[in-house]
Every structure is written in C-alpha cells, then in structure tokens.
Chain A
Amino acid sequence: MKKIFYLAVKDMKIRLKYKFVWINMALTPFFIIGPYVFSSRIVEVNSLAESVMIGALLWYWLNQYFFGVGDGFTEEREEGALISVILSPVSLLAFLLSKSVDTFLMNLYITFFTLIFFNLSGVKLEIHLLFFLLLIISGVYITFFSIFFAALSLWKKKIGSINSTTQFFFGILSGMVNPVEHFPHYIRFISYAIPLTYLISIGRNIMKNENGSNFISQLLILTALSFAYLIFGIWLLRKAENEIRRKGEWETW
C-alpha cells in the first residue's frame, strides 16, 4: 500500500508542476460532454438531459482511467522513468493501482467543476449519497477494466494506439446517450460485456430515485464482470512481464 501511496504522490507532484493543466481539466469535460447534454434539451425534457449527463460523465470517467491507467505504462515508458519503477520492488499491478488512485482524485476534481458548470447552465443533477457511492464504485470497477486494457497494451504495444477509439467505442455501446435496449441484439451482446453499461444504468436508476432493488442485480453482474476483467488483466500482466523480460523491451514503445 505504501508503494502505491508514494507513486500516487509522485503523479500528483508532477501534475502540480503544470498549473494550466488544472484549468484544462476543470473546463474540458464540460465542453466535451456539453454538446451531448445540450442536444438532449431540444426536446425540453429535463430528465433526458440529466440522463445523458450521467451517461456522459461516467463515460468521461472511463476516458480518464483509460488514459491514466490504461496508458500508464506507455506514458512513463516514453518519459523513460518506467524502468526505475520496474527495477524497484513495485509490481506492475501496484504501479497501475497507483495510477488509478491519481485518476480517481482527478476525476473527483473534474466532476466537481463539471457539475458546477452544468448547474450554471440550467442542467441540475440531484446529488446525494448514492451518487457518490456510484462514483466510488465506478472508480474501482473501471480501474479493473483499465488494468485489463493496460495489460493488453503492454502485451501487444500496438493496442495502445487505439486507446482513444476504444473509449468512443465503449461510450456509444454502453448507452452513454442512447439506452442499450434500443440497440440491435448483436450490439447489445457487446454492450453487456462493458462494465460502463451497468454503471450508467445504475446511475440513471439512482437519478430517478428508484428503489435499490431495481439495480441490485445490475450491481452484481457489474461486480462479477469487473472481477473477471481484473483476474484476466492480472494474468495478462504476468504474461506480458515475462514476454518483455524475454525480449528485453522495457525501454521500447
């Protein structure tokens, strides 16, 4: 745990050196997901805008995790410092978990400002305890999913190049703006393999103040699916580690 803490502190310290990035992080999500949310207001149903906002916000969380955790190895490899972490007693998994802590804190910061900007724009989300619980669950489970992606791109470097495309792919298929029930059967099959799909659905249920029993089954599926990704991700990390140790490619990308 201490190793994860120190690595997360390191990421935060580096981030603090770039003052303008904080402005960027506070504003950009609003501008990225704003068009989706504001388009939905054309029909003049506030709950639709809020529903899209929940989806888009959680999708943005996934984006940040895919950049922070999923791209964690690539980023530090390019900088050159990854080798020092690899040479230390820190495991690859601990390294990714430290990236996840950093991303979680960033996501809280981003969400705080995004909600303020939307509130000022007239799209108000009722914030209560369940919403924060959803964010925490999202942080944990999307971390698991991102670990799987990070392992995949460590194992096959080229996969890292389609990180952004993958994020949009997941965004659309997980029902960010359009509930997955509206998709054809064969697409829904893919949607249900994406943890974000369940998070968005649970988020919307919470927003509608629905009874917890409505989303408990989804939470269970989400939990099982996320742990499956984590287990597969850890297995893949070990495989990638041995592969890189055989090829000597710690410093290439």
Chain B
Amino acid sequence: MMNKKKIICILVMIACFILIIYRPRQLTLTIGVFAGSNWDVPNGDCYKIIDQAIERYEKEYPMVQIEYESGILKEDYSEWLSAKYLKGEEPDVFMILGEDFNTLSALGALKNLDSLIQKDQQFHIEDYYASVLYSGQYYNHQYALPYESNPTLMFVNQTLLKKEHIHLPDNDWTLDDFYTICQQVTKDTNNDGQIDQYGCYNYDWLDSVYSHKVNLFDENGEFCYLNQKDVKNAISFVQKIYNLNQGYTVTSQDFDMGKVAFAPMSFAEYRTYKPYPYRVKKYSQFEWDCIQMPGADENNSSEVSSLLMGISSRTSHIQEAWEFLKLLTYDTQTQKTLFQYSQGISSLKTVIQSDDVESLLNSDILEDTQVNLDLLNDVMENAMSQSQFRKYNSAIVTMNNQINQMIQNNEDLDLSLNSLQNEINEYLRE
C-alpha cells in the first residue's frame, strides 16, 4: 500500500518536473548595456541601436522577450554587473568593459563561445578583423565578440603645419617622419625664451610600443618581455620626443589652443568633434584632420580598443542568447547602424568594406578628410592587441607608472627595464 503511494508520488513529481522544463512559454532574455559611449564622448542615441536590434529580434522570435535596465552610466556599469553576478542575477547577454573582461573570464563568468561558433554554420569567425577578435580571447578561447571598435588615429593640426610649411604626412609615414616634424615645429614663437609651440601631446609609451608591434607578455600572462630591444627602442623614442620640450609637459589647454601639431586621437573622438555641432565647440580655431599613427616601418600598426559583448556562463537560454549576441555583433544591418548612432566602427570586414557605409561615414562631415574606409580598413587590418590574462590590468598600471617615471627622469633604460621586468614577473608568478 505504502509502496504504491510512494511510486505514484514519485511519478507525479517526475511528470511535474518534465512539464516545468518543457512547458511552452514566453521566455525573457535580459541584456546588460550602459548609457553613453564606451569612449567617453557625448552620445545622445545610446539605446537606439539596441532598441532596433531588440525589435527585429522579437519579430523573428515571438516567444522571446528582451529586457534591459536603462540608465546605467558607464562608470557604474562595472559595479552594477559585478553586483548582479554576485547576486546571481546577471543578464544573459551583456557588454563587457575592457577592464572587466579578464576578471570575468578568469572567474568562469563568461560562456566559452568556441562550441557555439563551431556549431553555427552561418557564423564565420574570419569575417572579423583578427586583432579585435583577439581582444575577446582568453587563453586561446573566445569568450566575447567585439560589438564596436575604436582605432587610434593621429590628430594633425593642419593650420600649424601650413604655417611651418610642412606637408601633411602620408598615411604610411614612419616614426622618423614623426620625430622630424616634431623637431621642426617645437620652437619659441613669441621670443620670450620659452618654447610655446610643441610637437605632440599625450603620445605615450604604449602608443610607441604598438607602433613597434611588440608583445609585452607571453600568451598565458606568465612572463613579461620588457627587457628586449624593441621595447627599449619604443621607450627611448618617447624619451626623445619628451626631451624636445625641454622638460615641459604639454597640457590639454596648449592642445586646445592649437599650439600642438600632433596628438593621438581615437576614432570616436574624431567622429564626435569633426561634424557639426561639436566642431563649433571644440578645436574650432584651427583646421585639423586625422591620419594613421606613424609606424616603426612602412607597416603602420596601432592600438584598437573594442567594446566586447558576451554571454553569461550561467544562462539557461544559451541558443537564444547566442542568436541575440550574433544579431548585435555579427549582423551587417546592426553593425552598419553603428556608423549612424554611435562613434565606434564595426569590427566586421564586410561592413567596413561595403560601399553604403562610406556615405554614412562622411555624410555629416563637410570638409575633405583623410579618414575614409580604406584608411579604417588599413588600421583595422594592422591593429595590434595584447594577450589577455587576469593580472593584465594591474600589471599595465604598474608598468605605466614606472615607465613614465623613467621617461621623465631620463633613466638608464637597460637597468630600469630589467628591474621592472623582474618585478612584474614576480607579480605575475604570485
């Protein structure tokens, strides 16, 4: 009697369980996005692309409803996402800030996308530029896909160069050209005994390292290679540039007033400040444009930063999340709207190389500009990314501090780099 009752009980429970799992239902996919631009430029249409994508997605998959929490600022986003993770309520698909990617991957918080990529016949990983794809990899596994990329360009003050009778450099210019021009423009224009016109602003050692195409760390983040010839060359180049100013540190005010010939500038800033209305507000006293960063040789290379998107490793709707992730990062239509409503560019070769994007890009820029899709394609092809590992961010911060000190104090690089390398290696091994 007892046994019969028990068996019936168990059967009912199993049936309920199956029903709960397989019940036809409206499923809700949550996504995590932040307001504003990833690159700290003003952006009024931050949710437009997402909203359009959601609309298209919900039309295609009527059973899925997508929700997001609006109004999270970029500076709060990291904390917000971490808190959600701790509470176990993280969104299924979400944006990943550069500084969070390593930590989240190391914790196993992100879904390893390798198998999804392999299974999906319509998805071709080669469509992405290799370097931006690399920034979403952690120990050779793809954990995130680039949603939006932002290459670094070189701002050129055309008015200043014209005044000094210097031609606008070509896109394949080298570090030597860069140095020569800096040398030429650095001078005292009002004869008060102090230089008041400068070669460049904000060009730091990492820019130089990217130009030299150096990998600072090994693939697993267990060693750093600071004490090598290329790193030394890169840093001594920055030291040379710095020394041109005779110890004076160029400020943003100098730059705004048009006293500086060059400055690294992200594409997002270019996109924001070049067209109306911001062109009236900023850098309005002089003509300017952007070109590629100078290279150590003819193959210019530079840094490209990307806003990544990934899937939570704990999501229960893997396929739906993957489809939505694809819609945001892989869909040509969505990626094209980036040029309309955002300041970054797509990471897809097909989008960058398509014709209708060209018109989108330059529709609101009145003047002639060097920046076109060919240039962007070039930059993206030759971009460099550093390997990602958990201690990357903190290692870079330490290196940054010490190397800036070396540059400012004109330290002997051999010795200082060697001791810094030992220090960093020790930290990485901990």
Verify that A and B bind, or say they do not: no
